[in-house]
């Protein structure tokens, strides 16, 4: 049983690496506190996927094959660095201790969970900005990469005046999780809010203590 749990941990680490490749940089950000480290990894990972899509688009490579290649590289990296991701150990402890000193972490996590709850309830009406994000994302999916024009949805033989980062990430979520496009748009639209909170706390951490930054960030943005 312990062996199964240990290998599930390894699989979970590998999944995290696929989703958040910024974890690779974790050894180089030891001077940051816990909240800043998590924020750094998330934002670097998002930037990685956006920049990667732009790179493979430059060489007219298909998005899905390129992502698969990147994931294979991650698997090789994971295997080579398996020790740093903790090899299976039979004495792994699952005890969770609640300390009053960590109250700010629990509060931050609670606020983030509250912010993402609307994912299960929102409906996107036609004509709003998110609907526009939807058709641009559909172009990315249909083109298997960043398109060269807005055809056939719009009669515009040009693409690029509007940033495609949001739409690439949405397309990747839709493809990887096999979610309907609207669900993927909902997920990314809502996740923007907790990410904004984390970014603000990250900024405040440059000037204040971590606990103070979290409380101020929650009060100011919520």
Nearest alpha-carbon partner for 163 in 129, 195, 186, 203: 129
Give the residue-averaged pLDDT of 24-47.
85
Interval 156-201: pLDDT, tens: 888 876 677 788 888 887 765 555 777 777 888 888 889 999 999 9
List phi, psi (to 5°) of 142.
-65, -35
Nearest alpha-carbon partner for 139 in 157, 126, 124, 151: 151
Q: Which residue has the tokens 């199964």?
A: 4
What is the C-alpha radius of gyration for the chain, rounded to an integer number of angstroms? 20
Give the residue-averaged pLDDT of 97-111.
79
């Amino acid at each position: 049983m312990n062996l199964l749990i240990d290998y599930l941990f390894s699989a979970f680490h590998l999944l995290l690496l696929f989703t958040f490749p910024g974890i690779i940089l974790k050894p180089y950000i030891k001077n940051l506190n816990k909240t800043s480290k998590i924020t750094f990894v998330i934002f670097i990972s998002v930037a990685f996927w956006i920049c990667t899509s732009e790179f493979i688009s430059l060489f007219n490579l298909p998005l899905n094959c390129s992502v698969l290649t990147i994931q294979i590289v991650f698997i090789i990296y994971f295997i080579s660095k398996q020790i740093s991701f903790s090899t299976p150990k039979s004495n792994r402890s699952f005890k969770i201790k609640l300390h009053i000193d960590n109250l700010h972490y629990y509060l931050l996590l609670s606020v983030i969970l509250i912010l993402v709850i609307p994912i299960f309830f929102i409906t996107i009406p036609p004509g709003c900005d998110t609907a526009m994000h939807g058709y641009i994302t559909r172009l990315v999916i249909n083109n298997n990469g960043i398109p060269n024009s807005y055809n056939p949805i719009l009669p515009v033989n040009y693409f690029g005046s509007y940033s495609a980062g949001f739409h690439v990430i949405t397309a990747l979520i839709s493809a990887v999780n096999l979610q309907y496009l609207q669900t993927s748009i909902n997920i990314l639209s809502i996740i923007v809010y907790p990410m904004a909170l984390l970014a603000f706390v990250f900024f405040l951490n440059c000037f204040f203590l971590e606990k103070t930054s979290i409380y101020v960030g929650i009060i100011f943005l919520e």
